[in-house]
Each structure stands twice: as structure tokens, then as C-alpha cells.
Chain A
Amino acid sequence: DTGVSQDPRHKITKRGQNVTFRCDPISEHNRLYWYRQTLGQGPEFLTYFQNEAQLEKSRLLSDRFSAERPKGSFSTLEIQRTEQGDSAMYLCASSLSLREQYFGPGTRLTVT
């Protein structure tokens, strides 16, 4: 058990609906990352936070995606107006500065 938890583990939604995922990192970790992974590919960087500040967001990320980490602890990732192409595993990871990242189990999103 890495200590990073994600909720829900699975989400099935209809195209056009909004979804929100939650990530609880390891408590002493100051950095939190969101990735998207599709079959046969490596995790694709989406965004990351240092404490409550969002330091970088992938240029590939459309404005339908937003992430928050309001108190520098847990984080949420929201996808508005979901599309079938959003179907993927969404992974959260946390780390202490630039050290190794600990991944959560992921949220598998299916958009029908």
C-alpha cells in the first residue's frame, strides 16, 4: 500500500456529463501530480501542484479539465462535458519535492 488513495476507482458516465475525481496524497508530501494513462502507453502528465499552488498544466489539456488542491492536501480533478476520448485511467501521484513519486490505484473513466 503506497498510501495514495483515489476515489472513485471506477466511473462510467454519459458523454456531456461532468465528473470529478479525488486524490488523497501521502500526508507529508508537498507535490501532487495528475496523469492520464491509456492502454499500451506511459502515464501522460496533466498537471502538478506544489502545496496548494498549481505550477504547471499540460498544453494538451483542454479547458474542460480543471484541478484544485485547496489546502495543499487532497486534490480534485474535474472534467466538464466529457467526451469519449476522455476515457482512460486517471492516476494521481505524490512526492516530496523532486524525489520518487508514489502512485495511487487510479480512477478508470469510461465515457459512453
Chain B
Amino acid sequence: GQQVMQIPQYQHVQEGEDFTTYCNSSTTLSNIQWYKQRPGGHPVFLIQLVKSGEVKKQKRLTFQFGEAKKNSSLHIIATQTTDVGTYFCAGQGGKLIFGQGTELSVKP
């Protein structure tokens, strides 16, 4: 069945450093969505990418969708303590299949 893999599983950074998480699907996706889950919270939608090669920015966050629509990345520049949480990618081919997430911790 369809699988979505995400790396790294954990990332510890000093405040102000950059952060990147990568997502790979075993199959071509119709779209990919990114969610953030704060400790003790539920996933909250960040963005959806639909087109091959698409790049979208939200303030310090940059999201990319690969040309083959099988991989994606999230890059955060100059991390802040408010960025702490687990970032999930989710591939859509009918239903959403979530990756296992990248847990980001930021040391002030």
C-alpha cells in the first residue's frame, strides 16, 4: 500500500538556526498537505501543494513539491521557540496518508 516516509524523526536546533524536514511517498500523489502538531495538541493544517514543482512560502516557512509529485520538503529559516512541535506531511491519493512526523525542538 501507499507509504509516506519522513526524515529526520527528531531535530534539535538552536534558536535562529534553520530547519528542514523531508517527505517521500512510494506513489505519485494528487497533492500533499503539511500539518503542525504542538505537544498535547491536534494536527493543524499549514498548507497544501498541488502542482508539480510548486513552491509556496508562509513567512519563514518554505514548502516545495517535487517534480514527480512524490516528494516534498518544509524549510524553516531562523527558527523561533514558537516553531516547536511535530511537523507532518500527508500525501493524498483519495485518503490522507501521514508520515511519521519530524519533531522539532528549539533551544533558546
Residues of chain A touching chain B, judged by Cβ–Cβ distance below 8 Å, are: 2, 33, 35, 40-45, 48, 56, 59, 91, 93, 98-106
Contact = CB atoms under 8 A, between A and B. Distances in A.
A48 B90 CA distance: 15
12 contacts: A33-B96, A40-B101, A41-B100, A42-B99, A43-B98, A45-B97, A56-B95, A98-B31, A98-B92, A100-B33, A101-B45, A106-B42
Contacts of B30: 98
List of 9 A-B pairs having minimum Cβ-Cβ separation, nearest first: A42-B98, A100-B45, A103-B42, A43-B98, A42-B100, A42-B101, A103-B43, A42-B88, A45-B95
Contacts, number: 50
Interface residues of B, number: 22
Contacts of A2: 42, 44
A97 to B, nearest CB: 11
Main secondary structure of the interface of B (DSSP, over half): strand
A40 B102 CA distance: 9
B14 to A, nearest CB: 23
Main SS of chain A's interface residues? loop
Nearest to A35: B98
Contacts of A93: 43
B94 interface: yes
Contact of B44 (A41, A48, A103, A106): A103
Nearest to A31: B95
A45 B96 contact: yes
A46 to B, nearest CB: 10
A26 to B, nearest CB: 12
